[in-house]
Amino acid sequence: MTYDTDIVKSDAELVDRYGSPLYVYDLERAVAARDDLRASLPEGTAVYFSFKANPHPEIAEALRTGDGSGCKAEISSTGELAAAVAAGFDPLDILYTGPGKTTEEVEAALEAGIRRFSVESVNDLRRVGETAWAQDTIADCLLRVNSAGAGATTSIRMAGASSQFGFDSETLPELMPELRSIRGTRLAGMHLFSLSNAKDEESLIGEFKHTITAAAEVRDTTGLEPELLDIGGGFASPYLSPGERPVYGGLRTALEEILDSHFPGWRKGSPQVACESGRYLVGDCGRLVCTVTNVKESRGGRFIILDAGINTLGGMSGLGRLLPVSVGLDGWERSNGSAGSPETAEWSGASLVGPLCTPGDILGRNVSVPDLHPGDVVTIPNAGAYGMTASLLMFLGRPAPREIIMRGDRVVSASRVLFVRMYA
């Protein structure tokens, strides 16, 4: 559904129109994040949007378009492939990643016109090569490198230990003759991604320094001169609680100095340098709007029960995995339509829980909340990344929330992901 000039003044009005819960995404905020990220990176750096953060095609399309500022696409499944195609990405601007690519997935990607893959093992490279050879084509492959050590000790680690991700860097010199011999492939570069959600700019710069140094060591020990050097991401954004997305004022200069030291030809495109981001690009463009269904006291504890739980919001968070349980509210509206005032409200601690029949359906413990009542509409901010995408959408068969796309205060579209279970 498309609305274009449909203006709304409050989240409660959105709930009245489209139901609850709702994911609301502002395209203008996504574009602002992209422009901020580009300004913090060296000129000419390619930026890949990681679809895993939020594969909504309209968000991806907004990030793709722009006068030379558009993102490319990084995907890891045929579902994300379909979303990227729907968003208008040129297949040649898509990077297919992931440690468990199947022959069928590689076939679909090649048939769609994708020619660039990140490969994580000998078997992965061989599968891509055999599939490309069968289609009478050549796939450009980046070797994902699992470097030894790390530049930062905080945040989510993606390298430096035993892992399903990437070639262990110390094994590559011995493996290179075999890798170069696999037909249907061309070794076109390196892919390193070792950190997610850096603690601060200093940590981010330290990690990039380690990453670029590790890439130079691989080049020197293997003779692989990368045409494309994907140094990953790690750009931070607040998650499910109030806060501002950081702006990295010193990153560009630091990266330029590191690249000049190790890859002096990068300014002329040899190699082409790339970064990737999901969380930073879309994290603060989205919010989850939901409704209080019940308020319950139990043995000295207070529970605010919402119509949105881990089936709707960061299910991996609710299970204590990958993402921390740390939900906060930045707005609410009374069931009578009046807006809550943070300045005059009395706030107290309570558990925010969802509607599911499992004790794991917890969005936050001891969360500071106002005096909420059934029917009140509440807003969870910074839910544009790893919100619904990281949720247990099929659990208990509850309907998926609607997703509302906006530009400022104008509704662009409203849609709902539908799941169909087929029984043999």
Read off the pLDDT band of 397 (50, 70, 90).
confident
Q: Compute the Cα dihedral for 18, 286, 232, 198 and give only its sign.
A: negative
Distance of CA 180 to the CA centre of its chain: 32
Q: Which long-range contacts (CB under 8 A, 24 or more apart) does 253-262 make?
A: 254/205, 254/208, 254/209, 255/41, 255/42, 255/45, 255/205, 255/208, 256/42, 258/208, 258/209, 258/212, 258/213, 259/42, 259/212, 262/212, 262/213, 262/215, 262/216
Is the predicted pLDDT of residue 377 greater than 80, yes or no? yes
Is the predicted pLDDT of residue 321 greater than 90, yes or no? no
Structural contact between residues 401 and 314, judged by C-beta atoms closer than 8 angstroms:
no
Coil, strand or helix: which one is 247?
coil
Is the predicted pLDDT of residue 382 greater than 90, yes or no? yes
What is the spatial distance between Cα 258 and Cα 210, in angstroms, rounded to a whole number? Answer: 9
Is residue 24 classed exposed, middle or buried when 0-12, 13-18 and 19+ CB atoms within 10 A define those classes? Answer: buried
Please state, for a pLDDT cut of 90, what percent of the chain lies above it. 67
Task: Dump pLDDT digits (tens) for 149-158.
Answer: 655 444 444 4
Structural contact between residues 353 and 309, judged by C-beta atoms closer than 8 angstroms:
yes
Radius of gyration of the chain (CA): 23
Q: What pLDDT sits at residue 217?
A: 96
Determine which of 118-132, 238-252, 332-346, 354-368 has the lowest per-residue pLDDT on average.
Answer: 332-346
Residues with Cβ within 8 Å of 153's Cβ and at least 6 positions away in sequence, in order, are none
What is the spatial distance between Cα 247 and Cα 9, in angstroms, rounded to a whole number? Answer: 29
Read off the pLDDT band of 359 (50, 70, 90).
confident
What is the spatial distance between Cα 125 and Cα 133, in angstroms, rounded to a whole number? Answer: 12
Is the predicted pLDDT of residue 422 greater than 50, yes or no? no
Helix boundaries (H) for 112-171: 122-134
* Pairing assessment for the beta strands 362-369 and 139-146 based on DSSP bridges: unpaired
Entry pTM: 0.91
Read off the pLDDT band of 5 (50, 70, 90).
low
Instruction: Say which residue, 387 or 342, is predicted with more confidence.
Output: 387
Is the predicted pLDDT of residue 134 greater than 90, yes or no? yes
Is the predicted pLDDT of residue 245 greater than 90, yes or no? yes
Domains of the chain by range and CATH? 27-277 (3.20.20.10), 286-335+344-416 (2.40.37.10)
Is the predicted pLDDT of residue 142 greater than 70, yes or no? yes
